[in-house]
Amino acid sequence: MIIRTMNKRDHEELLRLWSSFPGNAITGADSRDEFEAFLEKNSSFCFTACESDEVVGSVMAGSDGRRGYVYHLAVRADNQRKGLGGALMRRAEDALSKAGLEKIHLFIFSDNPAVSFYEKSGWHVRNDITVMSRVLRGDSRR
């Protein structure tokens, strides 16, 4: 198992991985063009886990210059509960910290079973803020 910097060639396999989780929202932001544009700005925060040249996990993270954000932490079902999700998250957290960011956030549907994974990993559920969204284009299911 290797964890390496994510690259543009990973897109198709990553979409398959991300789509394999019920309730995971794949939107226009995950199109090839949007994915490549995101990596142009944030590749140092994005990692892919591979086993025999096959993508088995990923974490996409980025920065707006003030805060970091984590997107699409995913580990293929047959590789879960082996520490890979934690290793991917640590790589992203370390990269964001080295970039000088003090705090990172992630957004997750409240009914996603992965909430407990994040809590065990030291993340805190915020009850003092309200997240508001406005869809400007693309999928508006949630």
Q: Please report, for the chain, the start and end positions of each structural domain, with discontinuous segments joined by +.
A: 2-120
Sign of the dihedral defined by the CA atoms of residues 81, 112, 117, 94, in that order: positive
Taking only the tens place, the pLDDT of each residue in 17-69 is: 998 987 677 888 899 999 999 999 999 999 999 999 899 999 999 999 999 99
- pLDDT of 39 reads 97
- pLDDT of 116 reads 86
Amino acid, res. 34: E
- Give, as one character, the DSSP assignment of residue 113: T
CATH number for domain 2-120, candidates 3.40.190.10, 3.40.630.30, 1.10.357.10, 1.10.260.40: 3.40.630.30
Mean pLDDT of the chain: 90
CA atoms within 13 A on the CB side of 106: 24
How does residue 142 score in pLDDT terms, banded at 50, 70 and 90?
Answer: low
CA 83 to chain centre: 16
pTM (2 d.p.): 0.87
C-alpha dihedral (65, 92, 95, 1), degrees to nearest 10: -150
DSSP states of 16-27 as a string? HHHHTSTTPPP-
Mean pLDDT of 105-124: 86
